Amino acid sequence: MGDLEGQTRHAFENLRTVLQEAGASFDDIVKVTLYLTDISKIRDAARVRDEFIDTARPPASTAIGVAALALPDLMIEVDAIAVL
């Protein structure tokens, strides 16, 4: 999980678990925010995100470059809002 793509995939897999536990799916997400410590790698993160969401009907999305996240090794944080 030491690279951005691995961390992004892990975050979206965790998100899928949380959605399922709430009786929801990625189709219920209306907004996704990606916080990246290296905004130049947004395309890599978006490519992984697109493995999980319906790209024909994507949720609103925002990407924000940040200086750091809560843990030093984190490169991405994903925030999502779902409406059931």
Domain range summary for the chain, segments of one domain joined by +: 4-82
Query: Reduced to 3 states, what is the DSSP secondary structure of residue 58?
Result: coil
13-54 pLDDT tens trace? 999 999 999 999 999 999 999 999 999 999 999 999 999 999
Residue with tokens 């790209």: 55
State the Rg of the chain over Cα: 12
DSSP 83: -
Q: Which residues neighbour 72 within 8 Å (Cβ) at sequence distance 6 or greater?
A: none
Q: Biggest alpha carbon distance in the chain?
A: 35
Q: Which fold would CATH assign to domain 4-82?
A: 60s Ribosomal Protein L30; Chain: A; (3.30.1330)
Q: Report whether pLDDT(1) > 80.
A: no
Give me the amino acid identity at 44: D
